[in-house]
């Protein structure tokens, strides 16, 4: 038969059973768990320049449920760098350096220390240098290579960037090229730079042009504006010395038609400067270079006669 006042003994029994279940009834286990390393308070002008393991192996002992919770990632090894300066730091992994729940003990940590190399963080502009091999097609030449971008700004450790002045591309093969070409070329990067900027490519614009020959073209007529067409100039034509592509010089018999000669404002002596440009130069149709114009000055024929009188 239950005693009349049975409520209080029943509650005490229930609390005792619950306490046994949650504390005494939970097995105590030893287990190796992987704990991540968490770097905090790193100064903005510093950078960790070495590769270090991002986690450590910790042997803990405690109730099974709490150990399982730690295994799921509820605990981290914090490394506070608020007082860090450039150089090498050796940080000891003491048992009390990891904060664990009450009832759990840290028995061992592997490795027993963390080594960090701290370096000054700088920014540097590095010029991109194209590296080529081979030769263009016969009678063609590589006039220039335009890189886009022609320089890259990199932020990283001072010890890495201070030794660099430029970034080289992987080899660009120009063998047999006979016309302007645009290529995507990866940069040749050291492992340290690869970690900083990853795989990076640039654009190479190759200005491949045909070789030129120097030609003297006689009898290039001077064009006169329509409102002055009734007046004659002397001389009426000029001789142009120009650098022409080989194919143009070989195939075009009427070389005079390649040029347009006009006159510019006259000077105080009544002479007018002759200006010669390749026809179609606005469209860059042919890479023709004007080397010399003879004569450089002309005058109106009637004014010349008056001068003679």
60 and 105 in contact (C-beta within 8 Å)? yes
Task: Please identify every stretch of the chain with a pLDDT value under 50, giving residue numbers as ranges.
Answer: 1, 24-25, 282-285, 304, 309
DSSP-derived secondary structure letter, 258: G
SS3 assignment, position 244:
strand
Instruction: Please enumerate in sequence order all residues whose Cβ is within 8 A of that of 281, keeping only pairs 6 or more positions apart, or say none.
Output: 288
The continuous run of DSSP H or E covering 232 comes out as none
Residue 293: CB atoms within 10 A of its CB come to 19
- Which two tokens mark 94? 């003491």
* Rounded CA Rg of the chain: 42
Instruction: Please enumerate in sequence order all residues whose Cβ is within 8 A of that of 258, keeping only pairs 6 or more positions apart, or say none.
Output: 217, 242, 244, 248, 252, 278, 279, 286, 288
What's the CA gap between 307 and 309, in Å, rounded? Answer: 5
- Which two tokens mark 120? 């000054």
What's the CA gap between 279 and 288, in Å, rounded? Answer: 9
| Among 124, 119, 135, 208, residue whose Cα is nearest residue 167 | 124
Number of helical H runs and strand E runs in the chain: 6, 19
Kindly report the pTM of this predicted structure. Answer: 0.61
What's the CA gap between 12 and 190, in Å, rounded? Answer: 71
pLDDT at site 13:
73
| Residues 235-271 pLDDT 10s | 999 999 999 988 888 877 789 989 999 988 766 667 8
- What domains are defined for the chain? 26-111 (2.170.120.30), 125-210 (2.170.120.40), 212-308 (2.170.120.30)
72 and 31 in contact (C-beta within 8 Å)? no
286 and 212 in contact (C-beta within 8 Å)? no
As to burial, measured by CB atoms within 10 angstroms (0-12 exposed, 13-18 middle, 19+ buried), residue 83 is exposed
The continuous run of DSSP H or E covering 134 comes out as none
Residue 258: CB atoms within 10 A of its CB come to 22
pLDDT at site 303:
55
| Residues 1-55 pLDDT 10s | 455 566 677 677 777 766 655 554 457 888 898 899 999 999 999 999 888 889 9
What number of residues does the chain have?
A: 309
What's the CA gap between 114 and 197, in Å, rounded? Answer: 26
């Amino acid at each position: 038969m239950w005693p009349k006042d049975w409520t209080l003994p029943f509650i005490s029994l229930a609390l005792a059973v619950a306490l046994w279940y949650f504390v005494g009834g939970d097995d105590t286990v030893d287990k190796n768990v992987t704990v991540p390393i968490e770097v905090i308070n790193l100064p903005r002008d510093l950078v960790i320049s070495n590769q270090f393991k991002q986690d450590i192996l910790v042997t803990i002992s405690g109730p099974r449920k709490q150990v399982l919770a730690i295994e799921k990632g509820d605990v981290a090894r914090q490394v506070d760098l608020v007082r860090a300066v450039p150089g090498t730091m050796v940080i000891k992994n003491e048992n009390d350096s990891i904060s664990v729940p009450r009832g759990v003990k840290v028995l061992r940590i592997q490795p027993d220390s963390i080594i960090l190399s701290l370096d000054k963080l700088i920014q540097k502009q590095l010029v991109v240098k194209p590296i080529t091999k081979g030769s263009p097609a016969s009678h063609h030449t590589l006039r220039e290579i335009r890189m886009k971008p022609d320089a890259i700004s990199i932020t990283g450790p001072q010890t890495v960037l201070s030794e660099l002045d430029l970034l080289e591309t992987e080899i660009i093969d120009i063998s047999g090229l006979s016309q302007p070409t645009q290529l995507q070329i990866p940069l040749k990067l050291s492992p340290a730079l690869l970690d900083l900027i990853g795989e990076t490519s640039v654009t190479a614009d190759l200005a491949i042009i045909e070789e030129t020959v120097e030609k003297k073209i006689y009898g290039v007529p001077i064009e006169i504006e329509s409102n002055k067409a009734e007046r004659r100039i002397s001389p009426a034509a000029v001789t142009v010395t120009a650098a022409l592509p080989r194919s143009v010089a070989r195939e075009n018999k009427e070389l005079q038609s390649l040029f347009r000669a006009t006159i510019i404002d006259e000077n105080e002596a009544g002479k007018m400067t002759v200006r010669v440009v390749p026809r179609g130069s606005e469209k860059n149709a042919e890479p023709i270079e004007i080397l010399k114009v003879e004569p450089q000055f002309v005058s109106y024929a009637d004014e010349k006669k008056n001068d003679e009188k």
